[in-house]
Amino acid sequence: MSDLTCIGAIAGSFGVRGEVRLKSFCAQPEAIAAYSPVQLEDGRSVEIRLGATLKNGFAARLTGIDTKEQADALKGARLYVPRDRLPAPEEDEYYYVDLVGIEVVDTGGTAIGTVRGVIEQGPGDLLEITVKGQSETVLVPFTRAIVPTVDLTARRIVIDPPEGLLDG
């Protein structure tokens, strides 16, 4: 699944006729339907038809899912599409999956660690960094002031952390 990108997840069933609660990870949440068909983690391909807008997502119909029991069985399943079906990110935009594993250095070029993940927060996203020599990860605000350079080609991120942030 390395060439696939996760664009959503199933949060559970909705109703008794096989609809699911669908969480979209797309910038415009309703755009998830445009990527149909999508692939489930078990390899099945399903079409998405969005229904009602719900808190944190949508009610949706997936082809081949006709009962509440089938929908319940999909709880937690992620939805994937081939990377080449996604639009290219604009300047200073990134697919978070592309940041995972990138080397992190400070503004002096000293190696700090690697990006473990990106945590989406309401007021601003955070880079979760595995720091060399520390057992705990460090959360760094993903802002232009603290992360002035993201070089996907070189697989390197430069950070200018506030004083004391990286002290273990």
Residue 76 counted as domain residue:
yes
In this structure, what CATH number is given to the domain that contains residue 59? 2.40.30.60
Q: Hey, which residues does 164 pair with through a beta bridge? A: none
Residue 25 shares a structural domain with residue 79: yes
**What are 116-147's pLDDT values in tens digits?**
999 887 778 899 999 988 888 999 999 999 99
Identify whether 125 is part of a domain: yes
Domain that holds residue 144: 96-159
b/e per residue 126-144 (b: at least 16 CB within 10 A)? bbbbbbeeeeeebebbbee
Chosen domain end from 85, 105, 138: 85
- State yes or no: pLDDT of 1 exceeds 70: no
Using the 8-state DSSP alphabet, how is residue 131 labeled?
A: E
Segment 75-84 shows an average pLDDT of 92
Average pLDDT value for residue range 106-114: 92
Question: Based on the domain organization, do 10 and 79 belong to the same domain?
Answer: yes
The answer, as to whether pTM is greater than 0.85, is no
